[in-house]
Amino acid sequence: MLIEIMDVIISGLINGSVYALMAVGLTLIYGVSKAFNFAYGSFYSMGGYIAFLLFGVAYFKNYLVVFCLAAPVLLVFGFFIEKLLVAPLRKRDDWEIKVMMITLGLALFLDNSYQVVFGARMKSLPSILEGAFEVGDFILSYQDVVIFVLSIGGILLFRWFLNNTRTGMSVRAVAQNPAGAQIVGIPKEFVFAATFAISTVMVGMGGILLAQKYFVTPGGGWNILIKAWVITAFGGMGSIKGGLYAAFIVGMLEAFVGWQFGMNWTLIALFAVLLTTLAIRPQGLMGKWG
Amino acid sequence: MLKMTNVTKKFGELTAVNNLSFEVEQGQVFGIAGPNGAGKSTLYNLITGLYPFEGSVTFNNGEIRGLPPHQIAKLGISRTFQIPQTFPSLSVEKSIGVGSHFGSRDGFEHDYVEKILRFVNLIDKRDSSTGQLNLLDKKMLMIGAALATKPRVLMLDEPMAGSNAKEIMKLMNLVQRINREMGITIIIIEHFMKVLTELTEKLLIIETGTEVCCGNPVDVTSDPRVIECYLGGNND
C-alpha cells in the first residue's frame, strides 16, 4: 500500500512538472496578448513528431541533439505563425474571436497534416535513459527522474529569462501594461511574436518529454490542450505562479483518481474540480478580477 | 520642433480632433486645456502613434505620422497618462530601467537611472514594488520612466489630477526643473488654470477637437471665447 501511494505521488509529480512547463507557456501567451491559442496542443504534437523524425536519422539518435535542434525549429515556427496568422488580425475589430478561430483552423490543419505525413498509428520515442532505482519493492525509472529534472529545469530557465534578460523584461512590461510599455519604447508587436514563439518551444519540449511515455498521435495534442486550459483557468488566467500550483495539483489529482477509480475518471475529476473552483472563486487560484 | 498640421481624427461618426494645427517650439512649456471630451488626450494618442489619423505631425522637420509608438519614443517623444501607468510587479528601479533599456537612444545606462531616481525623489523607494506606491509616487515614477527614455519632448496628461495643494506645488516644481535643468520641451494638458498660467509660455484651448484660441496664457484665459467654453454662454 505504501509503495503504491509513493508510486502515485511520484507519477503525480512527474506529470505535474511537465504540465507546469506547458501551462506556463499558455499562461504566458494569454497574459501578454490576451489571446487564446487553440493550436497549442498541435504544437505539443509537433515537438513529438520532430523528435520522431530526428530519431529516424542515425546521426541524431541522442536526446541532447534532438532538444538542441527541435528548440530553434519550434522557436522560428512559432514566431512566423504569430507574424503571418495572428498579428494581422490584431488590427481588426473583435480580434480575440478571430485569433481563436484561426488557431482552431491551424490546429485542424496541422493535425490532419500529421496524419497524412506520419499516418494515424501512434509513434513511439526511445526512453531518454534506461534503467531504474530499486529500493525493495519501490522502483523509480531513470526516465521519470530525467523528465522531472528537465521540466523543472525548463521552468527555472524560463523564470531566469523573464527576470534577467532584456526580452524577458519587455515581456513582463507588456503583460502588465501594454500601453505604458509602448510609450517607453518597447516594440509590442515583437514581444507578442516572441512570446508566442517561446510558448511554442515550451509546449513542444513538453511534447518530446511526454512522448516517451504516452506516444505521439495526430490528434494527441487535444488532450494536452484541454489540460493546459484547465490548469490555466484553475490557476488564474495570466497568473504564472497560479499555473504552476495548478499544474501540480492536476498532476496529483490525475494520479490519485487514476489509481483509485481508473484512468477514464481522470478528466471527469479534473473538470469537476475546475467547475467547483470557478463557481467558488471565478478568478481561479491566483488570478485577479478585471 | 513639433508641428501638427490639419490633423483630424474620427471615431465612426464622432470627430474627436478637427483640422487642428499648432506648433511647439524647442524648450517651450506648451499648455493644452479644454473641457472634458475636448480631444486633449486623443491628441497625445495621435502624436505617440497609438491611433492612425489624417493630416501631418512633424518632429524636427521629419514626418512621424504612421510610425509605431516605440519608434516615436526612440525619436525622443515621451508621455505620461492621466491615470498612472506602471508595471505593478516590477520594482521602482526596474520600472525606470525599462525606459532606459528600451526608449533611450543611448541604451541602458545605470548612472542615468540613478540620476532619474534622485530627480523624481524615489531613490529611497528604489526596491519597492510599484503596486505599493501612493498616487504621488506613482505619478513621479511614471514621469521618471518617461525621463529615462531621454526625451526631447515630454507630454504630460493632467499630472495634477487628484493631487492636493502641496502635491501640486511639488509636481509644478518638478515640471519646471525638467524644463530648465534638463532642457526638455514640455507639453502639458491641465485643468487647473493657475498651473497653466504659471507654468506655460503658450496655451492652446480646444473644444470638441477644434481650436478655440492659442497664445499667451494670460491673454488666452481672459478671452471671452475661453470663458464661454468653460463657464457656458452669457445668459443676459
Does pLDDT of A33 surpass 50?
yes
Does a structural domain hold residue B83?
Answer: no
Q: Are residues B208 and B103 in the same domain?
A: no
Q: In chain A, whose CA is at the least distance from the CA of B71?
A: A185
- As a whole number, mean pLDDT of residues B210-225 equals 86
Q: According to the 3-state scheme, what is the secondary structure of B77-132?
A: EEECCCCCCCCCCCEHHHHHHHHHHHCCCCCCCHHHHHHHHHHCCCHHHCCCEHHH
Does pLDDT of A192 surpass 50?
yes
- As a whole number, mean pLDDT of residues A31-39 equals 85
The answer to whether the complex's ipTM is over 0.90 is no
Residues B36 and B130 sit within 8 Å (Cβ to Cβ): no
Q: Are residues B126 and B219 in the same domain?
A: no
pLDDT grade for A69, boundaries at 50, 70 and 90: very high
Q: Are residues B173 and B206 in the same domain?
A: yes
Domain boundary among B116, B150, B184: B150
Does a structural domain hold residue B12?
Answer: yes
Does a structural domain hold residue B190?
Answer: yes
Cell of B130: 510599484
Note whether A93 contacts B: Cβ–Cβ < 8 A: no
| E strand intervals along B136-209 | 153-157, 185-189, 202-207
Q: Are residues B193 and B162 in the same domain?
A: yes
Residues B83 and B41 sit within 8 Å (Cβ to Cβ): no
Does pLDDT of A255 surpass 70?
yes
DSSP 8-state secondary structure symbol assigned to residue A123: B
Q: Are residues B201 and B218 in the same domain?
A: yes
Q: Are residues B220 and B119 in the same domain?
A: no
Domain boundary among B150, B182, B200: B150
- As a whole number, mean pLDDT of residues A30-44 equals 88
Does pLDDT of A82 surpass 70?
yes
Q: Are residues B101 and B212 in the same domain?
A: no
List chain A residues with CB under 8 Å of B79: 183
Report CB contact under 8 Å: A183, B79: yes
Closest CA to A211 of A1, A37, A39, A67: A67
Burial class (CB in 10 A: 0-12, 13-18, 19+), A135: exposed
Does pLDDT of A40 surpass 70?
yes
Return the residue in B102, B109, B155 with the most chain A beta carbons within 10 A, the one to mutate for interface testing.
B102
Does pLDDT of A290 surpass 50?
no
Q: Of A113-117, A284-288, B133-137, where does the model show the most confidence? A: A113-117
Note whether A288 contacts B: Cβ–Cβ < 8 A: no
Does a structural domain hold residue B174?
Answer: yes
Question: pTM, whole model, 2 decimals?
Answer: 0.82
pLDDT grade for B219, boundaries at 50, 70 and 90: confident
Q: Are residues B200 and B107 in the same domain?
A: no
So what's the pLDDT on residue B235? 44
Does pLDDT of B118 surpass 90?
yes
pLDDT grade for B233, boundaries at 50, 70 and 90: low
Q: Would you list the domain boundaries of chain A? A: 23-219
Question: In this structure, what CATH number is given to the domain that contains residue B17?
Answer: 3.40.50.300
> Which residues between 76 and 135 in chain B have a beta carbon less than 8 angstroms from any beta carbon of chain A?
78-79, 81, 85-90, 94, 97-99, 101-104
Determine how β-strand B54-59 pairs with β-strand B2-11.
antiparallel
The structural domain count of chain B equals 2
List chain B residues with CB under 8 Å of A173: 87, 90, 98
- Cα(A107)–Cα(A20) distance, integer angstroms: 21
List chain A residues with CB under 8 Å of B154: none
- As a whole number, mean pLDDT of residues B178-203 equals 91
Cell of B50: 497609438
Determine the structural domain holding residue B146 and report its residue range. Answer: 92-150
- Cα(B47)–Cα(B53) distance, integer angstroms: 10
DSSP 8-state secondary structure symbol assigned to residue A254: H
- As a whole number, mean pLDDT of residues A58-62 equals 72
Does pLDDT of A55 surpass 50?
yes
Q: In chain A, whose CA is at the least distance from the CA of B99?
A: A184
- As a whole number, mean pLDDT of residues B7-34 equals 91
Does pLDDT of A193 surpass 90?
yes
- As a whole number, mean pLDDT of residues A110-120 equals 94
pLDDT grade for A289, boundaries at 50, 70 and 90: very low
